[in-house]
């Protein structure tokens, strides 16, 4: 058995320097990420009001969430929004990327890319206000043209059956350009030699896409789905500005419920419990996507 060698002075100095380098990041991470997460979990088991008296309530907050018809409806709204927003954002982003990943004059290419990407860089709050004028029932732009064409007007934001669709439409308009840019970058990584060989072999375009392009860019598609899902599950400002969660609860999301309970009704513990539920849902959905990805993502 050999005795452990004592680290040299140089190694010790290097280690110390290393620790010093990671110290600021670690402190920031502990303070602004880990500590709030731990605090949220602790608060989710409590009724918290420092002035009227706080107390432990065990699983009461979670029980309230899972037995309240309203909170379950809001959870369902959030999942519904996530499914449609992710599906359309990613698929339309991919279609636009395929459409723009071809030979065309440079200025036209940049024009289209800019046109589709521009909504991404505009603040959601501003975009939502503009869309609220488009979606207006009687004085709205879209219904004006529908009526001029002799078509019936649609209650875009004031009918429970169409309000969520309207929000998905705005969300896709706003965010699909981001996925388009990611897909364009991915498509440019597909080896040209393979595509040229497929063309020379007379492979139809749809088969080129499903057999060559899609497998090559599948890790990027997977990233986009996970990224879009996490964002959609936390949707907040666009709904608040367009419908404030209404009519009734038709478009209310979990994030809105958290803010309303925590900062409107001072149910800090209950809001923390909903946050914990939402985090677990995001983790579970991501884990399912990760597990399913083994079947279709090329490693």
Residues that bind another protein (CB under 8 A): 47, 49-53, 70, 132, 136-139, 143-144, 147-148, 150, 153, 155, 157-160, 240-250, 260, 263-266
Taking the complex as a whole, the smallest distance from the CB of residue 138 to another protein amounts, in Å, to 4
Q: Specify the residue, 265 or 290, whose C-beta has the smaller distance to another protein.
A: 265
Q: Specify the residue, 214 or 259, whose C-beta has the smaller distance to another protein.
A: 259
Asked if residues 292 and 226 have their Cβ atoms less than 8 Å apart, the reply is no
**DSSP letter, residue 2:** P
CA distances in angstroms from 233 to 14, 31, 147, 180, 286, listed in the order given:
43, 25, 35, 20, 11
Q: Specify the residue, 53 or 189, whose C-beta has the smaller distance to another protein.
A: 53
Mutual angle of helices 160-187 and 214-233, in 10-degree steps = 140
Taking the complex as a whole, the smallest distance from the CB of residue 24 to another protein amounts, in Å, to 25
**DSSP letter, residue 152:** P
Q: Specify the residue, 29 or 56, whose C-beta has the smaller distance to another protein.
A: 56
The tokens 């207006």 sit on which residue?
A: 136
Contacts with 110 (C-beta within 8 Å, 6 or more apart), sequence order: none
Q: Specify the residue, 265 or 298, whose C-beta has the smaller distance to another protein.
A: 265
Taking the complex as a whole, the smallest distance from the CB of residue 56 to another protein amounts, in Å, to 15
Taking the complex as a whole, the smallest distance from the CB of residue 232 to another protein amounts, in Å, to 20
The β-bridge partners of 56 are 46
Answer left, alpha or beta for residue 283, where phi above 0 means left and psi between -120 and 50 means alpha.
alpha
Is 47 strand, coil or helix?
A: strand
Taking the complex as a whole, the smallest distance from the CB of residue 252 to another protein amounts, in Å, to 8
């Amino acid at each position: 058995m050999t005795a452990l060698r004592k680290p040299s002075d140089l190694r010790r100095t290097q280690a110390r320097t290393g620790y010093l380098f990671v110290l600021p990041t670690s402190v920031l991470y502990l303070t602004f990420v880990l500590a709030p997460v731990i605090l949220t979990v602790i608060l989710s088991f409590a009724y918290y009001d420092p002035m009227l008296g706080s107390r432990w309530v065990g699983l009461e907050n979670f029980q309230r969430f899972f037995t309240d018809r309203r909170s379950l409806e809001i959870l369902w709204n959030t999942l519904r929004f996530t499914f449609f927003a992710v599906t359309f954002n990613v698929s339309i982003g991919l279609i636009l990327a395929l459409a723009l990943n071809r030979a065309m004059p440079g200025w036209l290419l940049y024009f289209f890319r800019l046109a589709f990407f521009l909504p991404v860089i505009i603040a959601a709050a501003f975009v939502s206000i503009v869309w609220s004028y488009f979606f207006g029932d009687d004085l709205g732009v879209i219904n004006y043209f529908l009526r001029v064409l002799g078509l019936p007007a649609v209650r875009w934001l004031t009918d429970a059956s169409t309000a969520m669709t309207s929000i998905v439409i705005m969300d896709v308009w706003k965010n699909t350009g981001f996925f388009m840019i990611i897909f364009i970058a991915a498509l440019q990584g597909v080896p040209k030699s393979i595509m040229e060989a497929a063309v020379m072999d007379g492979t139809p375009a749809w088969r080129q896409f499903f057999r060559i392009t899609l497998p090559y860019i599948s890790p990027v598609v997977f990233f986009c789905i996970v990224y879009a899902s996490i964002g959609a599950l936390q949707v907040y400002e666009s709904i608040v500005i367009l419908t404030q969660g209404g009519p009734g609860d038709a478009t209310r999301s979990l994030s809105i419920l958290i803010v309303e309970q925590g900062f409107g009704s001072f149910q800090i513990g209950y809001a923390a419990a909903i946050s914990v539920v939402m985090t677990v849902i995001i983790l579970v959905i991501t884990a399912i996507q990760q597990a399913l990805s083994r079947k279709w993502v090329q490693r």
